[in-house]
């Protein structure tokens, strides 16, 4: 076997050496590349992929590349994602469960000789700042050079991760595109194997196996697989939280700063909120993270969050100088673009970029785009991969090993009706119910129909590695441990209410700072709120609407009938967790129901 460096020289970690040797014997690659995470390594692989025609260098953006995928490999595939706990009840009704022994058997046959004719890359990576005791090291073995480039941007990868690991155990992740090459066979631009796709997690042994897809959360194992599905199990066992949340710092014009975490389902606005450019003068937003938060209770009893990632894997469509200028500046150089459109002068384009499509555009399918086709030129789930350091408003706290103290937690989804623009919970437990109640329209971030309303509690439906009934109990338990004075306040927000014409009622993006301002004033005890059956609402005039000419009332319209239906539907959903659903949360729902019933009499 040909190695770029001798294995024993690369690491002294016995467990790691043994695991790598076993995977080589199983997958039988033609060579092995042990990653060091250097810029030279990144450039070398990018050049090889360019020579092979997989990457197209961009003329307008230094050190940036465009690529497009197989049309059957464009998003996460939830129906092929499995939690393989010993007992099915531990995976819970919201997960696809497989018996671990049976799944192992299937995986062994899938992975056997699956890397023939390919290079096996070994990627050690650290999730979380290198200096943080909260960080975790994973090692991903993959036959996809695209994965190597993405992992370099998204994580602290290579020698630094090996140094952090030392001789300790790590979280192993085995990944293959599932497309071995026979002698002389020419590779395709985007090898994958959609018929045999499996993304399997073993929460008890803390391992990950992913086969058949090269895209996003299916293949970049540090992200959803480790930092959410496996980490959620670690968090439950060890008393912390692994969440699908962005983290931002918000500074008042007078200088006081708070940190906010927000859970929105995939493609529902985390990246945009995390990089917000305030439309209110004097306010400042800094980005700590755009997708994942690991939250621990600090010695002072407050909840502290770190962002385990080092980069953004952000949705391209809709990103423009108007909606998200900070993202646009972030991706001016050193960025990978996947499944956007490509302009004839070698730049990227997507729907909602803020300029009309140029002539002779290459679509995400790699062919000349036909505007008359009425199909988008960029895939709706096309993405950019870029280092968080390039963000003009990147917070220095991104590297803080202790994380940032969270003052408020937001839950939000795409709801065209029912949910008001913003709502404050009465208590921690009521807030946990708001999280558990999160319902949102499906988006292109996962395979399947879009625009369908589904329950996505805590925006974690596809990402919780164990029974969500237990997950709700864990959140309640965290609330008991957080001293009341220190517990973050919990809010529900909704940027996506529509009017009768189907258009969004709220301008969103930079104007979301108006809602953040109210939250700031609430958590710093600067303003009173009004009482409603569903929670505290802003008083008339307390959402700052200066320089914004829209009616605010429709954003807070509540209809008793709609809310009775909402409660009934939530009751049905909560009951689907059976005895694992915490009674305290069902009590919260019943109290809500009573308040709504009484509302009629008021």
Residue choice 172, 178, 203, 317 for contact with ligand GTP (CB under 6 A): 317
| 445, 439 contact by CB (below 8 A) | no
Binding mask 476-515 for ligand GTP (x = CB under 6 A): -------------------x--------x---xx--x---
CA pair distance 499, 364, nearest whole angstrom: 32
**What does 323 interact with, of Mn ion, ligand SPV, ligand GTP, none (CB < 5 to 8 A by kind)?**
ligand GTP
Q: In Å, how far from its chain's centre is CA 361?
A: 30
Decide: is 337 part of the binding site for ligand GTP (CB under 6 A). no
Element (H, E) at 49: helix 39-51
Residue choice 111, 313, 475, 520 for contact with ligand SPV (CB under 6 A): 313
| 82, 225 contact by CB (below 8 A) | no
User: Per the structure block, which two tokens stand in for 506?
Assistant: 């709220």
Taking CB under 6 A as the binding criterion, the range among 60-68, 87-95, 268-276, 426-434 that sits at the site for ligand GTP is 268-276
Residue, CB closest to Mn ion: 291
Decide: is 580 part of the binding site for ligand SPV (CB under 6 A). no
Sequence-distant (≥ 6) Cβ neighbours of residue 602 within 8 angstroms: none
For 51-54, which contacts have Cβ atoms below 8 Å and span 24 or more sequence positions?
Answer: 52/187, 53/189, 54/145, 54/146, 54/189, 54/190
CA pair distance 265, 459, nearest whole angstrom: 4
Residue choice 216, 308, 317, 431 for contact with ligand SPV (CB under 6 A): 216
Decide: is 269 part of the binding site for ligand SPV (CB under 6 A). no
Element (H, E) at 236: helix 231-238
**What does 76 interact with, of ligand GTP, Mn ion, ligand SPV, none (CB < 5 to 8 A by kind)?**
ligand SPV
Decide: is 197 part of the binding site for ligand SPV (CB under 6 A). no
Residue choice 67, 114, 267, 377 for contact with ligand GTP (CB under 6 A): 267
**What does 85 interact with, of Mn ion, ligand GTP, ligand SPV, none (CB < 5 to 8 A by kind)?**
none
CA pair distance 414, 265, nearest whole angstrom: 8
Residues within window 441-500 making contact with ligand SPV, judged by CB under 6 A: 445
Active-site residue flag, 268: yes
CA quadruple 165, 170, 174, 175: dihedral sign: negative
Please state the closest distance from residue 83 (CB atom) to Mn ion, in A: 18
Query: 523-555 burial by CB neighbour count: b if 16+ within 10 A, else e?
Result: beeeeebeebbbbbbbeeebbbeeeeeeebeeb
Decide: is 206 part of the binding site for ligand SPV (CB under 6 A). no
Q: Which is nearer to ligand GTP, 323 or 362 (CB)?
A: 323
Residue choice 164, 224, 415, 522 for contact with ligand SPV (CB under 6 A): 224
Decide: is 349 part of the binding site for ligand GTP (CB under 6 A). no
User: Per the structure block, which two tokens stand in for 368?
Assistant: 């000349």
Residue choice 210, 266, 362, 425 for contact with ligand GTP (CB under 6 A): 266
CA pair distance 47, 268, nearest whole angstrom: 35
Q: Which is nearer to ligand SPV, 24 or 192 (CB)?
A: 192
CA pair distance 43, 64, nearest whole angstrom: 11
Catalytic residue among 192, 268, 287, 391: 268
Q: If DSSP codes are grouped into helix, strand and coil, which group holds residue 319?
A: coil
Decide: is 268 part of the binding site for ligand GTP (CB under 6 A). yes
Taking CB under 6 A as the binding criterion, the range among 53-61, 83-91, 217-225, 412-420 that sits at the site for ligand SPV is 217-225
| 54, 187 contact by CB (below 8 A) | no
Site residues for ligand SPV per CB under 6 A = 76, 216-217, 223-224, 266, 291, 313, 445
Site residues for Mn ion per CB under 5 A = 266, 291
Site residues for ligand GTP per CB under 6 A = 264, 266-272, 290-291, 314-315, 317-318, 323, 445, 495, 504, 508-509, 512
Catalytic residue positions? 268
């Amino acid at each position: 076997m040909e190695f770029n460096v001798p294995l024993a020289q690369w690491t002294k970690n016995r467990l790691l050496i043994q695991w790598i040797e076993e995977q080589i014997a199983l997958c039988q690659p033609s060579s092995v590349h042990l990653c060091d995470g250097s810029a030279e390594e990144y450039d070398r692989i990018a050049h090889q992929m360019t020579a092979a025609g997989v990457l197209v260098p961009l003329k307008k953006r230094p050190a940036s590349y465009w690529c497009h995928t197989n049309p059957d490999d464009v998003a996460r595939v939830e129906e092929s994602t499995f939690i393989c706990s010993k007992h099915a009840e531990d995976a819970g009704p919201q997960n696809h469960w497989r018996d671990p022994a049976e799944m192992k058997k299937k995986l062994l046959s899938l992975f056997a000789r699956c890397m023939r004719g390919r290079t096996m890359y070994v990627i050690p990576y650290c999730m979380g700042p290198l200096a943080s005791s909260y960080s975790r090291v994973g090692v991903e073995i993959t036959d996809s050079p695209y994965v190597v480039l993405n992992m370099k941007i998204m994580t602290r990868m290579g020698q630094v991760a090996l140094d952090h690991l030392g001789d300790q155990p790590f979280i192993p992740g085995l990944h293959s595109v599932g497309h071995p090459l026979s002698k002389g066979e020419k590779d395709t631009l985007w090898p994958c194997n959609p018929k045999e796709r499996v993304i399997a997690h073993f929460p008890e042994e803390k391992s990950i196996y992913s086969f058949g897809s090269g895209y996003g959360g299916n293949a970049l194992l540090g992200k959803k697989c480790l930092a959410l599905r496996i980490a959620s199990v670690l968090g439950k066992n060890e008393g912390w939280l692994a969440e699908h949340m962005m983290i931002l710092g918000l500074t008042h014009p007078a200088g006081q700063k708070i940190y906010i975490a927000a859970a929105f389902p995939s493609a529902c606005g985390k990246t945009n909120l995390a990089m917000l450019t305030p439309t209110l003068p004097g306010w400042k937003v800094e980005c700590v993270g755009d997708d994942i938060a690991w939250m621990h209770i600090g010695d002072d009893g407050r909840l502290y969050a770190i962002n385990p990632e080092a980069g953004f894997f952000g949705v391209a469509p809709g990103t423009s100088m108007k909606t998200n200028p900070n993202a646009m500046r972030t991706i001016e150089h050193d960025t990978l673009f996947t499944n956007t459109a490509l302009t004839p002068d070698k730049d990227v384009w997507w729907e909602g970029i803020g300029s009309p499509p140029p002539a002779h555009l290459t679509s995400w399918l790699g062919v000349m785009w036909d505007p008359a086709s009425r199909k988008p030129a960029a895939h709706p789930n096309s993405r950019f991969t870029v280092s968080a350091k390039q963000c003009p408003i990147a917070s220095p706290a991104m590297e803080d090993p202790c994380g940032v103290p969270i003052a408020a937690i937001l839950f939000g989804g795409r709801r065209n009706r029912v949910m008001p623009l913003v709502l404050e919970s009465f208590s921690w437990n009521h807030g946990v119910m708001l999280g558990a109640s999160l319902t949102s329209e499906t988006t292109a971030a996962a395979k399947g129909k879009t625009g369908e309303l589904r329950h996505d509690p805590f925006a974690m439906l596809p990402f919780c590695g164990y029974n969500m009934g237990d997950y709700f109990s864990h959140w309640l338990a965290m609330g008991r441990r957080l001293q009341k004075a220190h517990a973050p306040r919990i809010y529900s927000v909704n940027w996506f209410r529509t009017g009768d014409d189907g258009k969004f009622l709220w301008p969103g993006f930079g104007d979301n700072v108006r809602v953040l301002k109210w939250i700031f004033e609430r958590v710093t005890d600067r303003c009173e709120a009004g009482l409603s059956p569903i929670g505290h609402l802003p008083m008339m005039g307390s959402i700052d609407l200066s320089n914004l000419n829209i009616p605010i009332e429709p954003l807070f319209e509540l209809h008793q009938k709609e809310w009775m239906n909402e409660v009934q539907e939530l009751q049905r959903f909560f009951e689907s967790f059976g005895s694992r659903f915490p009674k305290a949360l069902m009590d919260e729902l019943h109290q809500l129901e009573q308040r709504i019933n009484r509302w009629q009499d008021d």
